[in-house]
Each structure stands twice: as C-alpha cells, then as structure tokens.
Amino acid sequence: MYVVKLVSFDLWDTLIFDEGVEPESYTLKRLEAIWKSIPSDKKPGFNNVLEAYRVVKHVKGFIKPEDFVKAILLVLGLDIGWQAMRQAIDAYEEASGNYTPRVDPDARDVLKTLKENGLKTMIVSDTSFSGSSVKKMLSNIGLGEYVDLVITSADTGFLKPDPRIFKVGLEKLGVNPWEAIHVGDSCSRDVIGALLTGLRPVLLARRMESVENCGRTGVTVISRLKELMDLIGFKL
C-alpha cells in the first residue's frame, strides 16, 4: 500500500480523450478563433491559417499560447496591431477552455475520492493548452474542483520526461518527490519522467506497447483508473 500526499496525473489519454485526428477538433476551433479576430481588411482565407499552423505546429506544446498565436501570424506575414493581437490571443485561449473532451468514466470518482481523503492532486501534461485553459476545461466537464494544480508544457517550456516539469508542481504544492505518485499512459513520458524525478510511477495500460516498453522498470500497471484506489488503500 502506498502512503502518499500527492497523486499526479497525465491529462490526455489518461483523464480525457480527443478524437485522435489531425488537426484535432479543438485545434480547428482555436484556429477559427484566431482567424475571426483578424481585421477584415487583412483577413486571409482560413486555409492559409491552416497552412501557417502546419508550419509551426511542432512547437505548440512547449511555447506559451500567446507566442504560438504570434508565430502563426508571423508565418502569415500579418501585422494586425496590438489590440487585434490581444483579441486573437484571448479568443484562442477562450476556445481552448471551452473545448469539451471525452472523459474517462472513472476519472471523476477517482479524483473526488482522493480529495475527500485529504490528498493533493495535480495534472502534469504535455499540451499546447495553458494551465488556466485546462482548469476551465476541467471545470466545464465536472473535474475542476478536484484538481489542485495544473502544470503544462506550454506554460513551463518543459516536456515530459524532463524532471523540471514535475518539479515545478512539486515545489508549488510543497511535496517531496517520494511523497507522490504519477499516473499516466506513456512509458517514455510518464513512467520514465516520474522515475527521473523520484516519483513512484503507475502506468495506465492504454496501449500494450507502453506496457512492453516499460516491462523492465518494475512499474505498477493498472488497466483502469479506479484500480489506483486499491494501490493507495481507498474505496470508491
């Protein structure tokens, strides 16, 4: 049985899911928000915005959302002025927070039980969403009140398995690495990242490839989120 103060979670494919297509529906909504914010006398076709996105999409997970919006406009060769730029950034963030993903059926009960038993909860995610957008999205789907802190690669500039992204959250919550576990679906990002930081990893077996790749690490493997409760000693 684990004795812990903090349970950290990956976000995508652990607590929530997108459609798995490119570009994702939330990406299209965010790009549309940028496009609508461009003044009419400078507005390109939406396909041009899509092409600009494809040029810079590889950096979206580790630069701040406002810089990503600026990068798209730079590729488009547009100088829209400070006010319109601010509107585009705000619209992009609002579209991010309004996204409604599919939620893992165990997620709410697991998070709620952890909080009711006095544990801290944190999300550490490689995502182009800011932490504030993730918090808004989580609130919209009924999970926000059960999450103490959201750390994203877009905010920090660090991608898992870099220990620095985990350490940002640990320091903010005042928890030592050995007092925390991290739950995620990726061997390379979640399990290795947790081990490098000193957290105890739990692998959520969404894909057999991750289970096979991390087989020699001795990581605990669960097939559903609710199995985490047995590890910690709580009942749903």
Q: Is the pTM of this model over 0.85?
A: yes
Residue 21 scores a pLDDT above 70: no
- Counting residues of the chain whose pLDDT is more than 70, the rounded percentage is 96
pLDDT tens for each residue of 25-36: 888 999 999 999
Pairing of strands 6-9, 16-17: unpaired
- Counting residues of the chain whose pLDDT is more than 90, the rounded percentage is 83
Check residue 203 and give its pLDDT: 95
- In order of 31, 71, 187, 199, the CA distances from 95 in angstroms are 9, 18, 30, 33
User: Contact 221/211 with Cβ under 8 angstroms?
Assistant: yes
- In order of 27, 38, 42, 81, the CA distances from 34 in angstroms are 11, 7, 13, 14
Domain 6-18+103-232: give its CATH superfamily: HAD superfamily/HAD-like (3.40.50.1000)
| Residue 205, SS3 per DSSP | coil
Task: Give the CA count within 13 Å in the CB-facing half-sphere of 76.
Answer: 25
Give the span between the Cα atoms of 179 and 199, in whole angstroms: 7
pLDDT tens for each residue of 132-182: 999 999 999 999 999 999 999 999 999 999 999 999 999 999 999 999 999
